[in-house]
Amino acid sequence: MIDLHSDPFDLFEAWMVAAEGSELEDPNAMTLATATADGRPSARIVLLKGWDRHGFVFYTNLESRKSVEIADNPAVALLFHWKTRKRQIRIEGIARKVDDVEADIYFDSRPRLSRIGAWASDQSRPLADREILEKRLEHEIAKYADSPIPRPPHWSGWRVTPESIEFWENREFRLHDRAVFSRVGGGWTATRLYP
């Protein structure tokens, strides 16, 4: 049973470590839900690339649909679902851009072709023909053949500072174990929920 006296970040870490031991691919995959300023929702899978007690970080093109929506409405939700563990974690919070130093450090850790791809792709915008992307990629590969690849100004990360973190664990007969931790001032309160 989920311990309501746990620190939600410690509990997140324990569940993530367990998922890393059992999920075949991408235990850090999470659904990111955003909404436009007028409330039209959108969801997609992104990868968690870092987390600490300040929040959960992912990286993307700042001109992508998700980033445009976050700029208009920074309230977002994250969902981790680990089928083999029969667990999920829902996080609701506010997204803010990471600072340039943090973005640079992560960008430099990416594979070379991924860094080049950040320059070649106009993420989320219409692409008339895949060949256009391939040619842009070839151009960027040649451009940076003998030089470091800087982080594009339109590429960075978002940190989601949680306002609530809900843990869900499967139980027989759909009598699941659920608990939500809500931020109150500098601390957290925990409530068990009906399944």
For the chain, which residues make up each domain, given as ranges? 8-111+154-193
What class has domain 8-111+154-193? mainly beta
Q: What is the mean pLDDT of residues 117-136?
A: 91
- CA 93 to each of CA 83, 106, 183: distance values in angstroms, whole numbers, following the listed order: 24, 22, 10
Where residue 84 falls among pLDDT bands split at 50, 70, 90?
very high
The single-letter DSSP state of residue 87 is: E
Contact 142, 149 (CB under 8 A): no
Q: What's at 154, amino acid-wise?
A: H
- CA 73 to each of CA 36, 67, 76, 183: distance values in angstroms, whole numbers, following the listed order: 6, 10, 8, 20
Where residue 99 falls among pLDDT bands split at 50, 70, 90?
very high
- The pLDDT of residue 62 is 96
Model confidence at 123: pLDDT above 90: no
pLDDT cut 70: percent of the chain above it: 100
Active site includes 136?
Answer: no
**CA angle centred on 120, ends 72 and 152, rounded to 5°:** 55
Model confidence at 24: pLDDT above 90: no
Which residue, among 70, 65, 90, 93, has the nearest Cα to 80 in the 3D structure?
90
- pLDDT mean across residues, the chain: 96
Which residue among the candidates 40, 125, 136, 174 is catalytic per the annotation?
174
- Element counts in the chain: helices (H) and strands (E): 5, 9
- The pLDDT of residue 153 is 96
- Can you read off the two tokens belonging to residue 4? 């309501």
